[in-house]
């Protein structure tokens, strides 16, 4: 079986608004188990699972947990990053709308393990349905004492509040997100210190993605080692993939790491909707690489994706057929980043604007060799000197097309529009 339903196993079997359904399907049993465990033992189990963050950076989950657990502050926060602002990604929304208690259970387990006192869900502003479902879910969890004071008689107090974003992509970046929750403009901070040391309101803060938290109950249920057996050596467990573009069956699919991208597109997605040839695929979302059809046997694996100098853990696969022009795609991506740059640092603020102008010269087929050189140099400077991941990854699609679709650039230079 290509699919491996771990996080999505209950979906369509339970009513997401019914806590009874969740309980009957084994829900909150792992929270009960966690409360009976030594806190350090919970973190050790996560370490054995080799779980890496699913929000994009693929950072080992246990290192952040351990980092907070050993801080001396008495006030600590747990924040779920549910901003999901990158075009092409919709798997977090799927999890929140279809099995919301799973993520809440994961957050409470993480809070218990780190002695956190308060939690936040930073939710993408446009996700109205998810907002309603999560509000209801939190109320139900409170009524059953899985949240609130003295959870399950353990003496542990923890509650969660939802904060809505306002449609800014950079607010998914962890420090911009923290600033936004604090009521300030969403702009990153210089690291270090990291959020686990000095985070929300200056206190140690654990920030993880929706999918990351959703894995926690499964790791406690299966045991870390069994979890690590799923997937590959460098990427354990399953990955939720947001499949879109020209595919017959777009949607969210859960597969073990190590599956070829081609299988996801052809066997799960049913290939292109109209039988056209695939020209290229963008991985991860707007900030990910664009690869040609002949590379689709590449497997879904954090380390493989890092070869592109990009951390494409969010898991979007956007399929484009032979009708799509490389430069039209780059222009749209360029417009997105130019619009979303927060303006705090020069390489990103000015770089995205200039990059867009250069790409437009290729769209209009009036680019010169010097434009090509400038695109390459500027992309490298932005990647190396931007303050946060937005500016650093904005040129990733360009880098990949320079590598795999270089003939398109040369063709424009050699055959300008008269």
Question: Which residues of the shown chain bind ligand FMN in the complex (CB under 6 A)?
Answer: 53-57, 59, 81, 83-85, 169-170, 172-174, 207-209, 212, 388-390
Regarding 61 and contact with ligand SF4 (CB under 6 A), the answer is no
Residue 69 or residue 342: which is nearer to ligand SF4 going by CB? 342
Cβ atoms of 405 and 280 within 8 Å: the answer is yes
Quote the least distance from Cβ 190 to ligand SF4, whole Å: 10
Q: Residue 287, interface with ligand SF4 (CB under 6 A)?
A: no
In 3D space, the residue among 331, 332, 307, 323 whose CA is nearest the CA of residue 403 turns out to be 307
Indicate whether 388 belongs to the interface with ligand SF4 (CB under 6 A): yes
Our CB check for ligand FMN shows the closer of 367 and 394 to be 394
Identify which range of 30-38, 132-140, 223-231, 345-353 contacts ligand SF4 by CB under 6 A: 345-353
Residue 165-204 contact track with ligand SF4, rule CB under 6 A, x = bound: -----x-----------------x----------------
Residue the block writes with tokens 């890092």: 306
Nearest to ligand SF4 of 320, 348 (CB atom): 348
Q: How far is the CB of 387 from ligand SF4 (least distance, A)?
A: 4
Q: Closer to ligand SF4 at the Cβ: 112 or 169?
A: 169
Strands 251-256, 238-245: pairing is antiparallel
The beta strands (E) that lie in 124-250 are given as 159-164, 205-209, 238-245
Residue 156 dihedral angles phi and psi, to the nearest 5° = -95, 125
Q: Return d(Cα 410, Cα 112) in angstroms, integer.
A: 57
Helices (H), 210-368: 210-222, 224-228, 261-263, 302-306, 326-340, 346-363
48 binds, among ligand SF4, ligand FMN, none (CB under 5 to 8 A by kind): none
The side-by-side arrangement of strands in the sheet containing 290-292 is 251-256, 238-245, 316-321, 278-283, 290-292
The listed partner (ligand SF4, ligand FMN, none) that binds 105, CB under 5 to 8 Å by sort, is none
């Amino acid at each position: 079986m290509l699919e491996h339903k771990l996080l999505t196993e209950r979906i369509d079997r339970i009513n997401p608004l019914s806590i009874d359904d969740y309980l009957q399907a084994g829900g909150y049993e792992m929270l009960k188990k966690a409360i009976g465990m030594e806190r350090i033992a919970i973190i050790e189990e996560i370490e054995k699972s080799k779980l890496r963050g699913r929000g994009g950076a693929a950072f080992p989950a246990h290192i952040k947990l351990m980092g907070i657990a050993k801080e001396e502050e008495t006030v600590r926060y747990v924040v779920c990053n549910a901003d999901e602002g990158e075009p092409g990604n919709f798997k977090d929304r799927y999890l929140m709308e279809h099995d919301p208690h799973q993520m809440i259970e994961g957050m409470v387990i993480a809070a218990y393990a780190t002695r956190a006192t308060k939690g936040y869900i930073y939710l993408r502003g446009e996700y109205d349905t998810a907002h309603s479902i999560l509000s209801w879910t939190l109320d139900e969890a409170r009524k059953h004492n899985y949240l609130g004071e003295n959870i399950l008689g353990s003496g542990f107090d923890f509650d969660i509040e939802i904060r809505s974003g306002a449609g800014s992509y950079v607010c998914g970046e962890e420090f911009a997100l923290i600033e936004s929750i604090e009521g300030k403009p969403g702009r990153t901070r210089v690291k270090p210190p990291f959020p686990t040391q000095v985070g929300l309101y200056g206190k140690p803060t654990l920030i993880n993605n929706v999918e990351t938290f959703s894995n926690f109950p499964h790791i406690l249920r299966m045991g870390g080692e069994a979890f690590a057996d799923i997937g590959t050596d460098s990427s354990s467990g399953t990955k939720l993939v947001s499949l879109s573009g020209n595919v017959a069956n777009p949607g969210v699919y859960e597969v073990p790491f190590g599956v070829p991208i081609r299988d996801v597109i052809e066997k799960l997605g049913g290939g292109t909707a109209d039988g056209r040839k695939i020209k290229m695929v963008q991985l991860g979302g707007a900030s990910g690489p664009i690869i040609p059809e002949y590379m689709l046997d590449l497997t879904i694996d954090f380390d493989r994706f890092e070869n592109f100098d990009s951390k494409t853990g969010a898991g979007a696969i956007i399929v484009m057929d032979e009708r799509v022009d490389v430069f039209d795609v780059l222009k749209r991506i360029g417009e997105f980043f130019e619009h979303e740059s927060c303006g705090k640092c020069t390489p990103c603020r000015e770089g995205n604007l200039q990059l867009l102008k250069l790409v437009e010269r290729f769209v209009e087929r009036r680019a010169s060799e010097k434009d090509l050189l400038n695109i390459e140099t500027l992309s490298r400077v932005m990647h190396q000197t931007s303050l946060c991941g937005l500016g650093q990854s904005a040129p990733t699609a360009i880098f990949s097309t320079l590598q795999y679709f270089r003939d398109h650039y040369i063709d424009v230079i050699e055959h300008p529009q008269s």
